[in-house]
Amino acid sequence: MQHVEVISCPPTISASWWSKRPSLSEKLCYLLLFAGLIIVRIPHAILHGRFWAEEGSIFFANAWHLTWSEALFAVHTGYLNLTANAAGLLASCFPLAQAPLATAAIALLIHLVPAILILTSRTPWTQHRWTAFAALLALALPPAAQETWLNSINSQHHLAIAVGIILALDTERTRVRFFHYAVLLLAALSAPAAWFLSPLLILRALQERSPQRTIQTLIFVGGIAVELALFFQPGERTFGMPISVFGGVLLIKHILLPMLDAERAISLIEGLRSRYMVGERPLWPLLIVAALYGVSLLAALRRPTSSPLWFLLGAGILTASYVSALGDKMGLLEYVGGGRYQLVPHALIMMALLSFSATETGLRSYLAAGLFGWIIAAQTATLLLWNAPYTTGADWRSEVEAWQRDSTHQLRIWPDGWAVALEKPPFSGTYRAY
């Protein structure tokens, strides 16, 4: 059963033009603007093309050297990333100089999925110009997210955001529901982070007892079952983190980093990180985060079927991805360290704040709208004033020219220190155009 929410325009926004429902043409304009904001963060990825880390060295190299079926179902770091495998295969069908543009295009399309879910939703609080625009702005301005931007290997995290949005919004009875089903299946076969949301999908299906939510859950859980049965190799990653370090990571990633511009955030983060690096294990960061989250959750529990609760639950449960992060867990205490693990909980927290501001009245609406606006302002300042890392790198076309002159040349890719080794025909495998 669809629930009815009281929509209140946030106190700082006029309740006239902005509160009306956008037309289809307006939504398309919002989507184009959103795509432009995505591109402008790392324009070189689209203008010149680039492979990001394993996107080139593993996924594109697999597509270049293996048969299509081997490349499509190849396992990396313990799981099948169907999106990245398919993007690598598509890129291998293009001339080598243009190959990264294909993976960037796939990544851009996946990047648009959460925005499309918001713009096509019939959930009451999304049916206003200001909420649609604000949601897309929040999705376009996550902090320290350069490693997840416009590359197919990290498209899985944008799919995880999409799963969180589907979880929190009302189910659809129109043809849009088939789009939801496709997103859930692709996410299950591409994004281990999204798997943490499966208990919440099951819980919401039991709460609503609607056919659409049941189908969503069965598709998502079925996709996870296929991954676990046929592809998943848990031995390739370590699980666990000291509780004090976990608290420090949460404070850095979800309070200091989004609330401050980059210069101020880095100064505070480095000071806190240095304490952990010399062996201190303060618990106060965890207490601060737990208190703030607990207060927010109690406020959301007033309406157990509404969006804020499910966004907050999704954000909370997805912080478990830090515990299973690859590499040294202490690296998560850095400003840009582990940005891919921070992306999804941050996006869902922003959606919770936005839905709070739209569905609540009085002080709760003021607080949610003010906090949402503060974070947007801080991240806009960072985007405009800070020279972010990972936004430039080796020129792909120059690397291809060097490889064509010398077949032993390893093509440099982004970030610095990464390269991809390709054989020229004849070799044992499938021929790819170059």
Annotate 277-323 with DSSP letters as a single string.
Answer: HTT---SHHHHHHHHHHHHHHHHHTTSTTSHHHHHHHHHHHHGGGGT
**CA gap 323, 239 in Å, rounded:** 6
Q: What is the pLDDT of residue 294?
A: 96
3-class secondary structure, 80:
strand
Task: Provide the residue ranges of all domains of the chain, joining segments of one domain with +.
Answer: 22-385
Q: What is the pLDDT of residue 89?
A: 96
Q: What is the pLDDT of residue 220?
A: 98
Q: Give strand ranges (E) for 326-424.
A: 411-413, 418-420
Report CA torsion sign: 146, 151, 152, 153. negative
Q: What is the pLDDT of residue 240?
A: 79
**CA gap 373, 354 in Å, rounded:** 9
Cβ atoms of residues 131 and 9 within 8 Å: no
Q: What is the pLDDT of residue 13?
A: 45
Q: What is the pLDDT of residue 6?
A: 52
CB neighbour list of residue 313: distance below 8 Å, 6 or more residues apart: 200, 297
Backbone phi and psi for residue 412, each to the nearest 5 degrees, phi listed first: -75, 140
Q: What is the pLDDT of residue 8?
A: 53
pLDDT averages per 10-residue partition of the chain, 434 residues: 50 64 93 96 89 96 95 93 97 95 96 98 94 96 94 96 97 93 97 91 95 97 96 76 92 95 91 89 94 95 93 95 83 88 96 95 92 96 89 93 93 95 65 50
Cβ atoms of residues 57 and 419 within 8 Å: yes
Cβ atoms of residues 229 and 188 within 8 Å: no
Q: What is the pLDDT of residue 280?
A: 87
Closest CA to 139 of 391, 289, 349: 349
Annotate 125-193 with DSSP letters as a single string.
Answer: GGSSHHHHHHHHHHHH--TT-GGGTT-GGGHHHHHHHHHHHHHHSPP--STHHHHHHHHHHHHHTT-HH
pTM of the model: 0.93
Backbone phi and psi for residue 418, each to the nearest 5 degrees, phi listed first: -105, 150
